[in-house]
Amino acid sequence: MILKRKVLSVAVCFMVIGLIAGLISGCAGDGNGGNGDGDGVETPQYGGELTYAALADPTYFDDVIGPHSSTSGPYQGLWGGDWAKGIAGGYGTHECDWFVRGEINRLEYKTGKIAEDWEIGDDYIEFYLRDGVLWHDKFPCNGREVTADDVVFSIERNMTLDTAYIKRSYSYLAESVEISAPDEDTVRIDCPAEYMAELITLIEYMYIYPRDVIELYGDMNDWERAIGTGAFTLEEYAEGAYLYYERNPNYWQTNPVGPGEGDQLPYLDSIRVLIQPDISTHDALFTTGQIDYTSADYDRAEALKDSCPDANYVRFLDGTVKSVIYMRTDREDKPYNDVRVRQALQLAIDNQQIVDEYFGGEAEVPYWPVYYCKEYAGAYVPPEDLEDEMIEVLPGRSISVLDLFGYDPELARDLLDEAGYSTGFEAEVTYSNAVYITVDLITMIQGMWAEIGVNLTLKPVSASEAISIHFMRSFDDMFVGTFAGVGTYFKGINWQGSGMYNASYVDDPVLNGYRDQMLAAYPDEDEVDQIHAEMLPYLLEQCYVLQHAAHYTYVFWQPWLKNYSGEGVVGYYSGGTWTPYVWIDQDLKEEMLG
């Protein structure tokens, strides 16, 4: 089989465009540009500085040495998300929203970055590099052109260095691929057919770095050698204070759509990232116009709506900082290998109370392992369909899958009694004390479970310790942790394998069979979606993780930030971001700020 990117199906997107309306709120701002409908969008202007705030300093500047950092501006991969298939100031195709931050990884929404085109076969990918892509004009690259040798070298680092995520998490893939350059414009990756799905979805996760920089310094893990092909160059970094980027005058890309179609990108002169660990200060900076956009949860969003009535905003679900409760389902000495116990614990969480009292009526459950977003609607099963899926939880007693996420302590007690825990049991949950939502919710759940005789001991740990525990799955009973993004859905890493996100140690033959089907069907994403949607009711019925209600995310932006609609990451983590496409209406900003 040969798959060319130009013939990938996008039909599933058009079928679900209307479903997103209930998840998005537009504000009562001035409606000039950037609000997703295209009304009043003027001709883009060059110049100005985009400013926003980050909670912490970047921890790494080399994604092969450590996790992806907040410094994606200088770097690019072979392919990335297609801005023109999103909202794009009202001029895109609207197949995507790009709200979900870094989790969208569908082939049908990709476009070339360092690679202009590609060909995918049963056991290989060939990338055809774009002419005229230049490294930043810094020593030792000095603005030279990207070569196939750079690309081969960068991919091999991901496959061979012990610190690399791909080497650590996909060792079977890393050990089996062969990377070569058939000619100076082509890079080929040969891979066993059974691992092609993993390879394809990890391509965008790898930045391409200049070989001569790494050979000179050993790695890229220093801000002063953050040399890439991106739209902005990192020029200053003051730890604990700010990062400052300037426009790359030799950037290769032009605007693909809208009034500025054909314009050389980027429009902005610079980007300034303020390091500010106090989230309330972010709100104050936005309210006073010192930053151009920010994100918020429900309580902060309500305050920002009142204090900034002219600001634009969107509301959506994504996986950022969302958590579930994992359990040691693999251990015979624990009660969690009994589905009745897991279902009892889920039924004893009063999610409606959490929604109403903690999230102001704005939250959803279930949301694991996928939640509704336009880009993955085909893999999602809406609540009304889960209501039609009936399961027998006790002899002669049936409920719907959706009912599992309601509140029925009486049925929960009956299930515990049937499982041999008529008087309940002792449990312990480990969690990070750094996330206030987690602390509050686990405390609420502790009280709810006490009503069915489950005495939950709370074990808070530091953020760094929690990360280590999660990575190693080294907890003894229960653990509160994040889960893999929606873009990993068909690989099943939330419920299969030895990775950190299968922290409940799930090994279910039924689910393994579905995973095999999805991997065999990939890259036919429509078929993969159908298989996943067929599997999802069974997965939720098993309650391998326990879910509390998940809150919405809000993104706010100032009226002078144009051609922006609340996008998060245009692509999959290392994909092209939205910053090259937006511009600042400097006259409007001056007028509004006085």
CA distance 486 to 536: 13
Rounded CA-CA distance 57/59 in Å is 6
Report d(CA 169, CA 40) in Å as an integer.
Answer: 48
Residue corresponding to tokens 């939205």: 578
Q: What is d(CA 21, CA 44) in angstroms, rounded to the nearest whole number?
A: 28
How many Å separate Cα 499 from the centre of its chain?
Answer: 17
- pLDDT at position 337 is 96
Q: Is 389 helix (H, G, I), strand (E, B) or coil?
A: coil
Partners of 584 in the β-ladder? 561
Q: Residue 38: is its pLDDT beyond 60?
A: no
Please give the single-letter amino acid code of residue 270: S
Q: CATH number of the domain at 2-317+553-593, out of 3.90.1640.30, 3.40.50.300, 3.40.190.10, 1.10.760.10?
A: 3.40.190.10
The top-scoring range by mean pLDDT among 27-31, 260-264, 463-467 is 260-264
Over the stretch 206-254, which tens digit does the pLDDT of each residue have?
999 999 999 999 999 999 999 999 999 999 999 999 999 999 999 999 9
What residue type is assigned to position 515 of the chain? R
Domain 324-551 in this protein, CATH class: alpha beta
Supply the pLDDT for residue 72. Answer: 63
User: Average pLDDT, stretch 137-163?
Assistant: 97
Q: How many CA atoms lie within 13 A of 56 on its CB side?
A: 4
pLDDT over 90, % of the chain:
82
Provide the residue ranges of all domains of the chain, joining segments of one domain with +: 2-317+553-593, 324-551
Six-digit token string for 280: 């309330």
Q: What is the pLDDT of residues 309-342, one digit of tens each?
A: 999 999 999 887 789 999 999 999 999 999 999 9
Q: What is the pLDDT of residues 4-22, one digit of tens each?
A: 332 222 222 322 222 222 3
Contacts for 237 with CB less than 8 Å, ≥ 6 apart = 223, 243, 244
Same fold, 2-317+553-593 and 324-551: no
Give percent of the chain above pLDDT 70: 92
Asked if 200 and 525 touch (Cβ cutoff 8 Å), the reply is: no
- Would you give the end-to-end CA distance of the chain in angstroms? 61
pLDDT band at 351 (very low <50, low <70, confident <90, very high): very high
The CA distance from 523 to 508, in Å, is 24
Q: pLDDT class for 39, splitting at 50, 70, 90?
A: very low
Global pTM value: 0.88
Element (H, E) at 342: helix 339-347
Tokens representing 1 are 């089989």
**269 with 173: CB under 8 angstroms?**
no
